[in-house]
Amino acid sequence: MAGDPGHHDPTADREKRSAASSSVVAALGLTGAKLLVGLLTGSLGILAEAAHSGLDLVAALATLLAVRIAARPADADHPYGHGKVENLSALFQTLLLLGTCVWIIREAVERLLHSPVRVDATFWAFAVMALSIAVDVSRSRLLYRMARKHQSPALEADGLHFRTDIWSSSVVLLGLAGVAIADRHPRLAFLHHADPVAALIVAGIVVLVSVRLAVRSIQPLLDTAPAGVAEKVVAAVEALPGVIDCHQVRVRRSGPHAFVDAHVTVDGGQTLEQAHRLTEEIEVAVGRVVPRADVTLHPEPAPRAAPDGLGPEAARTVPEAVPRQTGGASAEAPLPGRESGA
């Protein structure tokens, strides 16, 4: 096998845990700062961002837990490893985001239609949102880099959270700018609605991203084959000398791990050592298409050509019993109806 779900790279596990831990610290700091400034200014946009960052904190904690569990080696109860815990973590984060959107939309509509709230667009309101964008840019880049490096859906989902914060924080800044302009120019009083409108835009962005993330999280849980990967595996394997055919290819992902099953048709007359060497070459070729894949191969001998004048069934016919030599004398099985020793 080219990969083994029971074996883990300590360096990779350490890097993933470090990235997840730093996300917890960043989310905790941003949540506290946004909540404080949101309460002081009365800005729904900032409070919505505080709620968003609060869920980012919960999601970051879930990611840290998922990364730790996924790093456990395969065991008797989990022969394919614990990688799908990362997919479950990503799905959990999606549900948290969607729950936040429901609250944001409800509050924004309430403020727009029934209970307008005075927002104080102070320097601290702008400062905390600018700080949030700077932190989110840094965290999302690190998380996406680690997710691509280690094929981690949990870190990818966490990175998506922080990237979503960049978009939503930018929208909130625009909303605060609209409020500040309305304060200085009474004829533009309608811009006081910019804050709840910004909150609605934040919710819309989060819903779109969450749905996309949910689909990507559910597919590995259902063992959905990655699009186009099986065809690439077939092409890579059939390009090797000694491989006649590659078929019945199955590919699925489990967190950071990938599993590939394939049947290959090869020359049935080669030695076991030659066949083993060929399967190793096949595993390397599959690994180029699906990095760190756990590969299971089923070699099949190519059909032999039938002798001249005989049909294909004759080529597969097993010869009748051949006389055995025992002690230099010919020994035959008794014929039907003939008693032994007669």
Q: Domain-by-domain residue ranges, the chain? A: 10-221, 223-304
Measured distance CA(164)–CA(175) in Å, rounded: 17
Give the CA count within 13 Å in the CB-facing half-sphere of 99: 12
pLDDT for residue 50: 80
Q: What are the helix (H) ranges across the chain?
A: 10-41, 44-70, 84-113, 123-150, 153-184, 194-221, 229-238, 272-289, 312-315
Q: What is the mean pLDDT of residues 153-161?
A: 76
Q: Pick the range with the lowest mean pLDDT from 56-60, 112-116, 241-245, 307-311.
A: 307-311
Measured distance CA(127)–CA(138) in Å, rounded: 17
pLDDT category, 202, cuts 50, 70, 90?
A: confident
Cβ-contact 47, 37 below 8 angstroms: no
Measured distance CA(196)–CA(202) in Å, rounded: 10
Burial class (CB in 10 A: 0-12, 13-18, 19+), 294: buried
Q: What's the CATH number for 10-221?
A: 1.20.1510.10
pLDDT category, 126, cuts 50, 70, 90?
A: confident
Measured distance CA(149)–CA(151) in Å, rounded: 6
Q: Which two tokens stand for residue 297?
A: 């191969």
Residue 220 has pLDDT above 90, yes or no: no
Q: What's the CATH number for 223-304?
A: 3.30.70.1350
Measured distance CA(272)–CA(295) in Å, rounded: 19
